[in-house]
């Protein structure tokens, strides 16, 4: 069983550009969640996908969007980058039943993250 991987490791963009971050979940995991971790803070929930459908969203604007694919990979897209988007972006996969009551207890497996710097 392979772990959760993310690419690229580091990325530098300029303000106004668009970026796509990628995540490969553990095989068989139907749920992927994305988090933003600013320097000195804990991860902040962006959104979650379950079987290719968005299944919940945190307090992030629509320029943060995602995709989940049947091969257990997923993407986080950010348009019109702002300086405050500079952060570590983490994805986490879990088995996922789709039931709201199960989500909290479903163990999340995090990838190592992508460090995004916006200049």
CB of 79 to other proteins, least distance (A): 22
**CB of 31 or CB of 80, closer to other proteins:** 31
Which one, of 116, 112, 115, 109, lies nearest residue 5 by Cα? 112
Task: Look at phi and psi of residue 56 and say left if phi exceeds 0, alpha if psi is from -120 to 50, else beta.
Answer: left
The C-alpha atoms of residue 26 and residue 19 are separated, in whole angstroms, by: 23
CB of 3 to other proteins, least distance (A): 9
- Contact footprint for other proteins (CB under 8 A): 4, 33, 35, 40-45, 48, 55-56, 58, 90, 92, 100-101, 103-105, 107-113
**CB of 2 or CB of 105, closer to other proteins:** 105
Which one, of 35, 33, 12, lies nearest residue 83 by Cα? 12
CB of 80 to other proteins, least distance (A): 24
CB of 15 to other proteins, least distance (A): 26
For residue 67, the SS3 value is strand
CB 66 within 8 A of CB 76: yes
**CB of 19 or CB of 48, closer to other proteins:** 48
**CB of 78 or CB of 91, closer to other proteins:** 91
């Amino acid at each position: 069983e392979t772990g959760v991987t993310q690419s690229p490791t580091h990325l530098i963009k300029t303000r106004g550009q668009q970026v796509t971050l990628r995540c490969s979940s553990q095989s068989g995991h139907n749920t992927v969640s994305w988090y933003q971790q600013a320097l000195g803070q804990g991860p902040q929930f962006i959104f979650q996908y379950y079987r290719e459908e968005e299944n919940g969203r945190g307090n992030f604007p629509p320029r943060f969007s995602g995709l989940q694919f049947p091969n257990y990979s997923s993407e986080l897209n950010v348009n019109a980058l702002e300086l405050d988007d500079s952060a570590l972006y983490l994805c986490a996969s879990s088995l996922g039943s789709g039931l709201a009551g199960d989500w909290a207890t479903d163990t999340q497996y995090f990838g190592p993250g992508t460090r995004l710097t916006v200049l």
